[in-house]
Structure 1
Amino acid sequence: MSDIETTTVSEEGYACTSQVGEFDLQIDATDETGPNPNAALVATYASCFLPAFRVGGSQRGEEDLGTVQIDASADLDGDDDLTAIAFDIHVEADLDDDTAADVVERAEGICHVHSALRDELHADISVYPGAF
């Protein structure tokens, strides 16, 4: 049994509903009923990086970062493939440049999505025709 199991269903069109544990997640390639997959990936990355940033701060002795906000942006090529992702991290605490850089470096080592975004991590795909 795998550590993470999800089920994603599309009955028609380009909208999908993924069952993730007890949660339903709506993703729509056309942005009509939910965010598109690229936007969802960027939001997931930021949602993983933010708590990793807090842990990195704690490891650096910065226990109270206050409010932390990540404004994420991403660039797409002509095929709508992601080519770049950027985070602007706004922190209530007054961190000096060296501390901020150290916290970011620690967060990069902690964030699971950051670690997963590499070429060699692609799905192993099997197709089962006539399943329904």
Structure 2
Amino acid sequence: MECHLKNIVLRPGDQFKVQGKVASDAERFQIDLGADEDNLALHFNPRFKEDDAAIVCNSKHESTWGEEERHDNPFQRGATFKILIKLTDKLFEVELPNGEELTFPNKEGMEVINYIRVKGDFKITSFKLI
């Protein structure tokens, strides 16, 4: 599954919600926010392999990845989920399915997000810009 949204305008204070179902044999999925495929303010990437089970967050500037951050992965293969991503002036706040929140700094200092890509081993049931 892959979905690209281009020419949108998300600014600090905006948020969006994604609901879906993780594939029963999922290895990973990702949600990317930025200017384009090569310039990402947030790469949100839950991974499910036993030797790499984590949520990896990163940024990308001119096709070069930054330093990744790793977090516990509360997503489960075969389970439905809902996440809410909030944009603030300096960071992204991600509300996870277990009610916890992780934050990731807007390292690239992007003031406007106009590209979203959702890709990987899950099915979207709802996508809403708020």
Structure 1 length-normalised TM: 0.27
Q: Comparing both structures, which one devotes a greater share of its residues to helix?
A: 1
Q: Comparing both structures, which one devotes a greater share of its residues to strand?
A: 2
Q: Please say which structure displays the higher CA radius of gyration.
A: 1
